[in-house]
Structures are given as C-alpha cells and as structure tokens.
Amino acid sequence: MPPEFPVIEGQYLRDILDQPRALDDTLASLEHSHPLQTLAGRVQKAEFTAVILTGMGSSFHALHPLHLDLINHGFLSMMVETAELVHYQQRLLGPRTLIVAVSQSGESAEVVRLLDLNRRKSAVIAITNMPDGTLARQADAAILTRAGKEFSVSCKTYVAALMALKWLGDMVCARDLRHTRQELQCASPAIRDYLAGWNQHVESLTIRLSGIRHLFMVGRGPSLAAVGTGALTVKESDHFHAEGMSSAAFRHGPFEMLSDKTFVLVFAGDGKTRDLNLRLLDDIRQQQGRAELVGQGAEFAPCALPRVPHSIQPIVEVLPVQMITLALAAHAGREAGRFELATKVTTTE
C-alpha cells in the first residue's frame, strides 16, 4: 500500500525541509565574540578544572560530539542532564567550572532552575535559539542559533545547535575558525540535496518498516548524538516506541529481542569503531533481525548519508531518522510531529 503522503505534509515536514535555511542563517551569524574568546582562553589556560555540558532531550544528546572533542584535546569534560545537575550534582557548580548549557528556548524548567541555583558561581556559555530567553540573557556568553520558530519536535533547532557546538569546540580547541567555517558551509547544500528526494526516501522506508514492533538505533562515539535524538524524535513524532543506545549496549540484552518484528538502525560512525558496527549489522541479519546501515555509501538510499567533512557528520546523521518518522506516520495515517500531550517548551519539572 503506498504511503499516505497528504497526512504527513504538515508543519513538522516543513520544518524538516527548512533545515538548510536554518543552517545557512546560523552559520552567517557565528562570530568569535570577546566574551566567548575570553572564556575559551580561560579553558586553554586551565583556569577551569572541568567543563560541564548540560541540556535536556535532544539538546543533551547534541553535546556528545563536543564532549568527545574536548576530552580528546585534553580537557576534563562531563555530560550531565540538567535535571540531575540541579538536584543531585550541585557541588559541581563553582568558580573552577565552566558550564555549557544548551536549550532551544532558554526557558525550560531545568535550565531556569540551574541559572537560579548557580547565581554566577560558574561561568555559563549558552547555546540557544531564543535571544531574549532567560538563558541567553543570564549567560556570560552565548552562541545564538537562527533556526527560527519551530512547530513541535526538534529538527532544525537540533542541527543548528550541532553547528553552534562545533563552532564552540573549535574555538576552545584553538583551531583555525576560517577552516571551521569552510567545513560548516558544506552542511546546508548536502542536506538540501538529501531532502530533495524526501518523498522517495519515505516511500522506501514505509516498505522496509512494514510490520515492525520494535525500533532500535545504535552507534558509537559522536553517533550517539543521532542515536539518542533519533529515538526521542520517533517517540515524540509518531507515538511509536524506540530505543537509542550504544552498539555495545545493544549486545548486552536487547540482542535477544531480534526477530522479523525488530528493526535496528546501525550507524556506521567513524573509522575507529566502524568495523565493530558492521559486525553487529551482520550478526543482526544472521539472527533474522531487520537492520540497515546509516553512513556514507550505504546501500539503502534513505540511509546513505551525503558526503561531508568527517567533523560535521553528526549534523547529517539525523536525516534518515527524520525520514523514518515520516514513514511511521504514513503507516499510522497520522500527522507526524503533532503533540497531543506534550508542549514545545517543557516548563514543569
């Protein structure tokens, strides 16, 4: 049965298709402001003993690539959900800690509580889409994304946040920001080319996903951003249960769930663990599980990522997941991304 395209052609789809514009506008606004330069310099001089990366939902998952980049550069980086930070890890707040807080609205309950508790104990760098939000106003420095208004589920705000975090990471690691800008310029045209075939991707996926009951997304390293965000996005968009986890964690239990009703999206990732991910893909298929590889050169067209510099691959990895949300919605005959119980900004803890 062909997918029901009209039912999915709502505002959420329009936001997905608006991602190239959001990235272009965000890139055009990126600058190395004096407050950012000052804080980056303090990190480089080891004036901070730790960098705490915090957010909720997709804003939290987007921090994975920066987290690994800072660690690989020799800095002590910690990822902590904001809800855990404010209730159980308040002692991390202090003058030797730098906080990088990501919140699309800058008004979520947890980030507002964090700012109230912090009271300038720690310096704060904000990544946010709202220049007038509480986070942007109270942070010591801010990088603003220019995604514009978003209907519901995070899509263009997520990729714009990844772009801003890449910019911040390269600033802290003292890389050539002219080269960073050249790399980031590749993101928008690559995503635009991929999305030009969105309807064919959705049609192919509706066939491939027919009859599934369990959906897993697995990967390693920087791909954990897409894995975590992807599972959350499916649940929000489609009311369909999905789980995101590391490829290694999938072998420790969920592997037992493999059947023709289980679909696993395996992210190839970088060269360090690509062979391990490919081995998992083969093992899943040998056990009659249904699986596809996400990566450059993948055989299944909706999962074939556009070719971009390795450092910005996390920005494009979420694209197949977005197509899956549309395919599942077409199967269910409902509009993807329309909230029935939740709200765009979570203001209650």
Classify strands 214-219 and 123-128 as parallel, antiparallel or unpaired.
Answer: unpaired
Is residue 196 domain-shared with residue 324, that is, in the same domain?
Answer: yes
Residue 19, domain member (yes or no): no
Is residue 222 domain-shared with residue 274, that is, in the same domain?
Answer: yes
Question: Tokens 């263009």 sit at which residue?
Answer: 156
Cα–Cα distance between 318 and 156 in angstroms, integer? 11
Residue 277, domain member (yes or no): yes
Residue 12, domain member (yes or no): no
- Whether 259 shows a pLDDT value over 60: the answer reads yes
Share of the chain above pLDDT 90, in %: 90
Cα–Cα distance between 284 and 293 in angstroms, integer? 11
What per-residue confidence (pLDDT) applies to 342? 72
| C-alpha dist (Å) from residue 212 to 209, 215, 248, 340 | 6, 7, 22, 23
Cα–Cα distance between 20 and 43 in angstroms, integer? 32
User: Which one of 164, 185, 206 terminates a domain?
Assistant: 185
Q: Provide the 10 A C-beta neighbour count for residue 186.
A: 17
What are the tens digits of pLDDT across the range 230-250? 999 999 999 999 999 999 999
What per-residue confidence (pLDDT) applies to 1? 45
Is residue 254 domain-shared with residue 199, that is, in the same domain?
Answer: yes
Residue 254, domain member (yes or no): yes
Residue 346, domain member (yes or no): no
Is residue 195 domain-shared with residue 165, that is, in the same domain?
Answer: no
User: Which one of 159, 185, 211 terminates a domain?
Assistant: 185
Is residue 67 domain-shared with residue 145, that is, in the same domain?
Answer: yes
CATH number at residue 127: 3.40.50.10490
Total structural domains in the chain? 2
Is residue 270 domain-shared with residue 200, that is, in the same domain?
Answer: yes
The 3-state DSSP class for residue 165 equals helix
What are the tens digits of pLDDT across the range 157-185? 999 999 999 999 999 999 999 999 999 99
Domain hosting residue 312, numbered range? 189-332
Is residue 63 domain-shared with residue 115, that is, in the same domain?
Answer: yes
Average pLDDT over residues 59-88: 98
Q: Which residues pair with 142 in a beta bridge?
A: 126
What per-residue confidence (pLDDT) applies to 3? 54
Closest CA to 70 of 32, 103, 100: 100
Is residue 173 domain-shared with residue 35, that is, in the same domain?
Answer: yes
What per-residue confidence (pLDDT) applies to 4? 58
Residue 296, domain member (yes or no): yes
Is residue 116 domain-shared with residue 245, that is, in the same domain?
Answer: no
Is residue 41 domain-shared with residue 137, that is, in the same domain?
Answer: yes
Is residue 69 domain-shared with residue 85, that is, in the same domain?
Answer: yes
What are the tens digits of pLDDT across the range 114-144? 999 999 999 999 999 999 999 999 999 999 9
Residue 256, domain member (yes or no): yes
What are the tens digits of pLDDT across the range 181-221? 999 999 999 999 999 999 999 999 999 999 999 999 999 99
Share of the chain above pLDDT 70, in %: 98
User: Which one of 143, 161, 185 terminates a domain?
Assistant: 185
The 3-state DSSP class for residue 79 equals strand
Residue 321, domain member (yes or no): yes
Is residue 193 domain-shared with residue 171, that is, in the same domain?
Answer: no
